[in-house]
Amino acid sequence: MVHKVTLIPGDGIGPEVSKATVRILEATGVKFEWETFAVGAEAFEKSGEYIPKELIESIERTRVGLKGPVTTPVGGGFPSINVALRKKFDLYANFRPIRNLPHIPTRYPDVDLIIVRENTEGLYSGLEHEVVPGVVESLKIITEKASTKIAKFAFAYAHKNQRKKIHAIHKANIMKLSDGLFLRCCRSVANDFPEITYGEHIVDNTCMQLVMNPYQYDMLVMENLYGDIISDLCAAFVGGLGFVPSANLGDECAIFEAVHGSAPDIAGKNLANPTALLRSALLMVRHLGEHEASTKIRNALERVYRHPEKLTKDVGGKAGTSEFADAVIEEMEKADVQPAAVQSSRA
């Protein structure tokens, strides 16, 4: 079977980490057919559109996207392509597992935390205007429909995957109506899942609690902005932004991308760590039902991380993005030629 996937390499470090990831995916033997598109400033130069029509049609057809990061201009310019794609395809659930890889020294070695972020509204609705000169209004939209949907997603995932605890993260002490509604929806869904412990923490306290002791949490569910900020905080538990994957999931389509941005400070230098996009691709490969390939990549990745010299600079290594990909592919090839008994004794 050939899996058709819409590939958006992105900009900044996007093309480098995408190329590395695609090479590793293809080395598993699974067949992919990539429909590749530029977005953002690069697409605008070519076609006059920030999100080309052909890209939208491609995702409607393939229903699966793999996406590198895309730069969003700060304080002006075109609106975020990432936010626009999530809204366009109603990718309402942003699923971000935060897990350590072995052999990466961190302050907390056993983090296994899942962040579920509402992906389509909140302050990222993009509704801003200048009321009078010097006064700007930015609207935070919270709806019962989207809040209930994201709460149901989180609890259903917890139920299916034997997770024990969910905390809803909020600021309902100040934003009584908007975050208050979000909490009411979470409480209502929580009532249907008595086997899962439900708690609520205020977002500023959550940041402090996480830094003090991330092990106290199991799953966190929250609106858009808090999810964006808290995921970057949590990336620090597992080695930094080079490690955290994400899946943008809707009822019809899914787009897989890393949590990190386009990292202009290291772009084009073969320095970026492709692990976060590769781990996002692992989520994609499982979504496509290719469990064997996913295990193969995960095992190879873990074996590479035993060798500090094969790692990228962000984790103290000397390898470039492409050499890191070579090392993962080499480990997969070694596993292929080893007898099954040897492989299973290592699993």
How many other CB atoms sit within 10 Å of the CB of residue 306? 11
> Whole-number minimum distance, CB 230 to ligand NAI, in Å?
14
Q: How far is the CB of 346 from ligand NAI (least distance, A)?
A: 28
Residue number, 214 or 317, with CB nearest to ligand NAI: 317
CB of 274 to ligand NAI, least distance (A): 7
Q: Least distance to ligand NAI from the beta carbon of 331, Å?
A: 20
Residue 101 DSSP one-character state = P
Within 8 A by CB and 6+ apart from 193, the residues are 155, 158, 159
> In angstroms, what is the minimal distance from the CB of 173 to ligand NAI?
28
Tell the residue number behind the tokens 């106290």, with chain if given: 216
> What's the chain's Rg over C-alpha atoms?
20
Task: Give 47 or 72: the residue with its C-beta nearer to ligand NAI.
Answer: 72
Could you give the count of Cα atoms lying within 13 Å of 264 in the half-sphere of its Cβ?
Answer: 4
Tokens of 337: 């030629």
Nearer to ligand NAI, 201 or 240 (CB): 240
- Cβ proximity to ligand NAI, 37 vs 155, nearer residue: 37
Phi, psi of 221 (to 5 degrees): -120, 135
Q: How many residues does the chain have?
A: 347
**Nearer of residues 75 and 339 to ligand NAI, judged by Cβ:** 75
Rank residues 175 and 233 by Cβ distance to ligand NAI and give the closer one.
233
Q: Report how far residue 62's alpha carbon sits from residue 4's, in angstroms, rounded to the nearest whole number.
A: 6
Measured in Å, how far apart are the chain's first and last C-alpha atoms? 27
Which residues are at the interface with ligand NAI (CB under 6 A)?
A: 13, 17, 69-72, 82, 241-242, 257, 260-266, 272-273, 276, 314
Closest separation between CB of residue 233 and ligand NAI, Å? 13
- Of the two residues 30 and 69, which places its CB atom closer to ligand NAI in the complex? 69
Alpha-carbon distance 140 to 138, whole Å? 7
Q: Supply φ then ψ for residue 34, to 5 degrees.
A: -95, 130
d(CA 80, CA 92): 16
